[in-house]
Amino acid sequence: RRPCDKTKAGAERTARIKQGQLFNGMFDEYDRERLDNYFRDEQRLTLDEAKILYLETTINNKTRRTLKRDEYLIDVAFGFFKSRGAVLLDDVSPLLCVRLIASIKKKGLKRSSIKNYWSVVSKVFNKLRKLKLIKLENPMQDVDLPREGKMERTRIPSVDEIQSILSYLATHSPY
């Protein structure tokens, strides 16, 4: 509700025009301010909101340990984006994602760890898009992983580590 005209006829005419505009999805700034969170199509998520929504929507499919790992990876990746000025999920561009991967590589992390960061950012965008919470394209889809390095572990467990694993399995095995 808002003032339309000084005369009843003018107010009715303006009201009919406004009803037609609203019916056709044409909203002005006053309408947007009043409707605020009801604009599902135009909703822009912050990085923190996106993280929370992703974790909430995947809680049933993952173990607690996997959720903790995902949360840590998202915190690191989104922290990098925030340090580069990104506030909203819309602000994350493919170039920013390339810079994230380059900074992780620069820290000396292995290719498999870099892939974990790549995957979790990609999963956030894909999951939120699948749930129709965002209309953004996945910026990670154009980002390539570094070629050098192997995806498998290069270190072999020591004899003590193997014995501790075997003793744990012996005490916690159901058979």
Query: Each residue of 35-63: pLDDT tens digit?
Result: 665 554 556 889 999 999 999 999 988 88
- Cα 123 to Cα 130: distance, rounded to the nearest angstrom: 10
List, for residues 135-149, the tens digit of each pLDDT value: 888 999 988 887 776
Output the pLDDT for position 18. Answer: 78
- Cα 172 to Cα 87: distance, rounded to the nearest angstrom: 46
Give SS3 for 46. Answer: strand
Whole-number CA gyration radius for the chain: 25
| Alpha carbon distances (Å) from 135 to 41, 42, 94, 130 | 8, 9, 16, 9
Q: What is the dihedral of CA 149, 115, 137, 102, to 10 degrees?
A: -60
Helix (H) or strand (E) holding 76, with range, is helix 64-83
Backbone angles phi, psi at 145, to 5 degrees: -80, 150
Output the pLDDT for position 37. Answer: 54
Output the pLDDT for position 151. Answer: 57
Q: What is the mean pLDDT of residues 102-126?
A: 91
Q: Please state, for a pLDDT cut of 70, what percent of the chain lies above it.
A: 84
- The 3 state secondary structure assigned to 21-36 is HHHCCCCCHHHHHHHH
pTM: 0.63
Q: Which amino acid does the sequence have at 6? A: K
Q: Which two tokens stand for residue 32?
A: 């947007």
